[in-house]
A and B are shown apart, each in its own frame.
Chain A
Amino acid sequence: MVDVSQHELVPEHSVVSDSELDDVLDEYDIERTDLPKIKRTDAAVPDDAEVGDVLEIVRDSRTTDRAVVYRLVIQ
């Protein structure tokens, strides 16, 4: 089976720890459920992520080098 997370076009997805998450939610003054979502069944989601976890996705960007995005795992 192909592991898509190893594909060069798939950015790095990692589970955010609770303390880190608090900082993120604080920074944007939002609830966890206000974050964009990602399905648990998405092939890019790491195996240890569970529904309710928040993922940090780090993309390469030509304009800003690194673009960081957070997503809540659902279903």
Chain B
Amino acid sequence: MSTGQTPKQIGSLSFGLMDPEEYREMSATKVITADTYDDDGFPIDMGLMDPRLGVIDPGLECKTCGKHSGSCNGHFGHIELAAPVIHVGFQKLIRRLLRGTCRECSRLLLTEEEADEFRDRLDKTRSLGEDLGDVTKAAIRRARKASNCPHCGETQYDIQHEKPTTYYEVQDVLSAEYSERIAAAMEGRPVGDEEEGEVDREPMGPMELAEETGIDSSRIQEILSSEFRPTEEDRESLEQALDVDLTEEDMNKLMASDIRDWFEDIPDRDIETLGIDADKSRPEWIILTVLPVPPVTARPSITLDNGQRSEDDLTHKLVDIIRINQRFMENREAGAPQLIIEDLWELLQYHVTTFMDNEISGTPPARHRSGRPLKTLSQRLKGKEGRFRGSLSGKRVNFSARTVISPDPTLSLNEVGVPDRVASEMTQTMNVNARNLQDARRYVANGPETHPGANYVRRPDGRRLKVTEKNCEELAEKVDPGWEVSRHLIDGDVVIFNRQPSLHRMSIMAHEVVVMPYKTFRLNTVVCPPYNADFDGDEMNMHALQNEEARAEARVLMRVQEQILSPRFGENIIGAIQDHISGMYLLTHDNPQFNETQALDLLRATSVEGLPEPDGTDDDGIDYWTGRSVFSELLPDDLNMEFEGTLGEPVVIEDGQLVEGTIAEDEVGEFGGEIVDTVTKVYGNTRSRVFINEVATLAMRSIMHFGISVGIDDESVDSEAEDRIQEAIDSAYERVQELIETYETGELESLPGRTTDETLEMKVMQTLGRARDSAGDIADERLDEDNPAVVMARSGARASMLNLTQMSACVGQQAVRGERINRGYEDRTLSHYKKNDLSADAHGFVESSYRQGLNPQEFFFHAMGGREGLVDTAVRTSKSGYLQRRLINALSELESQYDGTVRDTSDTVVQFEFGEDGTSTTQVAHDEENPIEVEDIAARVMNAEFADEAERESFLKGDTLQTNLSEHQDTWRTGGAVPEVESDD
């Protein structure tokens, strides 16, 4: 560490409230003036910029610790608040405590037994590591039910919370208009806001009333004339006798000081029942009497160009607080009326509230003079750009670059093309020694602008010098062993390459640098699938590694070739894509023949150095090689495979020779191409990298040899086929019409579990679907095997036969939410149709093919279906992104331990063995036909490991001799206690 201090381990962290006394103790100064600087620009003593709060101006000395800016972290001050205020962060806790404790004796409104029960439940939840909130919430809920205190008997009132910081006690008190109400009730009139005739009440005379209630009749007269307020008892009996409500709700506001007094009396034991450690957090500390003032280093002021100082938002807020605080004190001392005091109190509360959080609903945010809301404490922490997500979890880093990507099929999949201007900006540190001295001098001599150059050097005495065009020659002479040279990136350096969103391990891989001209990062197209990259403007990030350990780790663990097998499904995620697959298909499908020049041209970019024996001679007596034997040159010599390939035909490889079959997607493709997968698992990642690179280059040569291009005529069919397609569609229309007629006559039999409406819809969809398929089949027959679009679809390179038939025969039914299109106007989809028209074309059946073009209605329906697709993907990506974030946050701390278990940071076991089998998906291959034979594997490992039976036995017995023991071993074992030694005297 640069601080030169020994690292220390954190034993534990505890979160709690802070004692106001502690605020005062740690405070460097009390802050009493709202002013910051005097006329000469010096900070005012006991002001918000008091030099004891830390220094920000370079050169000045901190008055508290004596350090200079940079090394002084700053010191807190404090403001003595004129009256207690509520801390907004604790609004809910305050509400809960008020509701759960007695208004008189402040004890928790639970009997001893209930409290014991909740304490037990707390202990249990704590040991299970679950959320304590559930238990404490349940305790408060129970306590709130008590209408009287179980300890002192006091009646409890409901507490109402008006957000954010006002609390009321709701009491039922005698209504102010009690006499009117009683009089009305005695005459049998409706009382208060009762409706006429709502309550039916017999009129009652004063004598009768006196008799019923037992109240003296003269007293009743007094009550009726408002001369005497009825007592609680009298009120109740009057209410009962007259069937009337004489009370009204009275909201009694609880001032912060009342709440503080209330909380002070809550006993420690009751606090603990609510899951709060009373030693660390007393509830009265929630109500602030002292406000800590953050050090100036946390709210530095900036000097604008015109020399004016601009203060931080927090400082502005603190100024407001101090001003109001002072006015409050002055007014109170001057004996101002209660109303004014209360107003000022509320204003102080507002400023303290917005100082902590300026985005509270129901409170207007405090604003800057310009109208911009102030960024106060909570706003610094919250959200994407906040301290947690923005500054701590994610930071901007040095030695990184970002630019557009573009393809380069001549690179190896392990490589990345780095623009020279990036390479000369990002550096690697060379420790100069006798062996690399010449190189180091050459780099320095090249200067910072010529490519393999250097930007900085560090002399053995630690001084860092910038290499410039002027001093480079001179500096190069001086470079000697012991110096450090920051040289440019050169070919072969390892860098980390990344494309967001980084959804899986393969989104960040290590590549080897190839320095290139121009401005884009270049990559081999076979790494597009793991990054999910394309070249329509995608940008990627590159990070240059800065120490040997990182470089070694990246090379061994992160290089692209190490990621060929995906941990998700255990098969290769890197392989041939798109044109590679079309190319391989063209090369191997009909097993075409090539003469020597052609064959050599196909293999020219691979490591194959000579052609094998020719496969035969053609009619002109010229040697030829077949496509399959050209491809076989790329295979390992002893590879043997047999499986069903992409076309459903067998693919046979014997001794590294493709004997039969076509090479396409299922053979060499990106997601589980059989040959790539097998080569990787049997011959290793390096051989597989070579294989994939060469398949890609061979395929490119091959596709260039044959040529592949698609035009609109490739999708047209002859007029005879067009007629047949029309026939198929027409007959489907007829059948749909028949279905509709049977439906309308009520003769349509409904399918089990369906209504007739649903049945009709299903049958219509079925009929039209079949019509599309048969139209497709007709078109399919007419499309030649060598039609380029067919080649792409059949080989699995891109598109499907369905896409092709939509182009050449019939687009088919458009659907929204899996149904025919039913929305739009009343009882019809468009105003072009009659109401309740159930026919195919009124509900989105597109009869045309894409090549013919769609009519306006068809086009509209097609757009409806298309839009649903777009909306779906948009919604899916945002939802899955959030889900991903939450999953990663939940799982990021899980770690597989040396004992094989997977645990979280609190040592809770999540899995007893990684994946419950302790195996890596990429290291294990099995399927229905080849199950894993654990016994066989163990035997094979044992046999390979031990020369003979005896050696094996001795290993299994486990009595290996330890040769690396210390002579002090025994003293360690007894935990340092030295065994007693007999004294010899």
Contacts and interface: CB of A to CB of B under 8 A. Distances in A.
Given A61-B917, A63-B917, A64-B919, A36 B909 contact: yes
A68 B916 CA distance: 8
B932 A69 contact: no
A36 B917 contact: no
Nearest to A72: B128
A34 interface: yes
Given A34-B909, A64-B917, A64-B918, 16 more contacts: A29-B899, A34-B906, A34-B908, A59-B916, A61-B916, A61-B917, A62-B932, A63-B926, A63-B932, A64-B913, A65-B934, A67-B913, A67-B916, A69-B911, A69-B912, A70-B912
A74 B128 contact: yes
Nearest to A33: B127
Given A36-B910, A37-B128, A62 B916 contact: no
A30 interface: yes
Nearest to B931: A62
19 contacts: A28-B909, A30-B909, A33-B127, A33-B128, A34-B906, A34-B907, A34-B908, A35-B909, A36-B908, A36-B910, A37-B128, A61-B916, A62-B932, A63-B924, A64-B919, A67-B917, A69-B911, A70-B912, A74-B128
B901 A28 contact: yes
Interface in B120-137: 127-129
Contacts of B918: 64
Interface of B: 127-129, 899, 901, 906-913, 916-919, 924, 926, 931-932, 934
Contacts of A36: 908-910
A38 to B, nearest CB: 12
A2 to B, nearest CB: 23
Contacts of A64: 913, 916-919, 934
Nearest to A67: B916
Contacts of B917: 61, 63-64, 67
A37 B932 CA distance: 30
A68 B926 contact: no
Interface in A1-39: 28-30, 33-37
A33 B127 CA distance: 7
A68 B128 contact: no
Contacts of A37: 128
Of A35, A64, A68, A70, most buried by chain B (CB within 10 Å of CB) is A64
A10 B909 CA distance: 22
Contacts of A70: 912
B570 to A, nearest CB: 11
Contact of B129 (A33, A59, A63): A33
A61 B926 CA distance: 12
Nearest to B921: A63
Contact of A30 (B128, B907, B924, B934): B907
A69 B129 contact: no
Nearest to A29: B899
Closest 3 CB pairs of A and B: A63-B917, A64-B917, A67-B916
Nearest to A52: B124
Contacts of B128: 33, 37, 74
A69 B910 contact: no
Contacts of B906: 34
Nearest to B126: A33
A59 B931 CA distance: 17
Contacts of B934: 64-65
Of A36, A59, A63, A68, most buried by chain B (CB within 10 Å of CB) is A63
Of B906, B910, B916, B918, most buried by chain A (CB within 10 Å of CB) is B916
Interface in A38-75: 59, 61-65, 67-70, 74
A63 B919 contact: yes
Nearest to A37: B128
Contacts of B932: 62-63
B904 to A, nearest CB: 10
B530 to A, nearest CB: 25
Contacts of B911: 69
A59 B917 CA distance: 10
Of B926, B931, B934, most buried by chain A (CB within 10 Å of CB) is B934
Nearest to B916: A67
Nearest to B127: A33
A30 B897 CA distance: 13
Contacts of B919: 63-64
Contacts of B916: 59, 61, 64, 67, 69
A28 B924 contact: no
A58 to B, nearest CB: 11
A30 B129 CA distance: 14
Contacts of B901: 28
Contacts of A74: 128
Contacts of A61: 916-917
A28 B919 CA distance: 19
A74 B129 CA distance: 12
Contacts of A63: 917, 919, 924, 926, 932
B301 to A, nearest CB: 51
Nearest to A24: B912
A74 B124 CA distance: 10
A68 B919 CA distance: 15
Given A64-B918, A69-B916, A28 B899 contact: yes
Contacts of A65: 934
Contacts of B913: 64, 67
Nearest to B915: A63
Nearest to B910: A36
B145 to A, nearest CB: 24
A70 B908 CA distance: 12
A63 B127 CA distance: 35
Contacts of B924: 63
A41 to B, nearest CB: 16
A21 to B, nearest CB: 14
Nearest to B901: A28
A26 B912 CA distance: 13
A70 B916 CA distance: 12
A62 B926 contact: yes
Nearest to A36: B909
A71 B127 CA distance: 15
Of B129, B909, B924, B932, most buried by chain A (CB within 10 Å of CB) is B909
B928 to A, nearest CB: 10
B424 to A, nearest CB: 50
B889 to A, nearest CB: 20
A62 B933 CA distance: 9
A30 B902 CA distance: 13
Contacts of A29: 899
A59 B916 CA distance: 9
Contacts of A62: 926, 931-932
Nearest to A63: B917
A3 B910 CA distance: 28
Contacts of B931: 62
Nearest to B907: A34
B914 to A, nearest CB: 11
Nearest to B904: A34
Contacts of A69: 911-912, 916
A65 B926 CA distance: 13
Contacts of A28: 899, 901, 909, 912
B920 to A, nearest CB: 10
A20 to B, nearest CB: 15
A35 to B, nearest CB: 6
Nearest to A61: B917
A67 B919 CA distance: 12
B911 to A, nearest CB: 8
B282 to A, nearest CB: 30
A67 B901 CA distance: 13
Contacts of A68: 912
A34 B926 CA distance: 33
A64 B918 CA distance: 8
A74 B918 CA distance: 27
A21 B206 CA distance: 81
A24 B932 CA distance: 27
Nearest to A68: B912
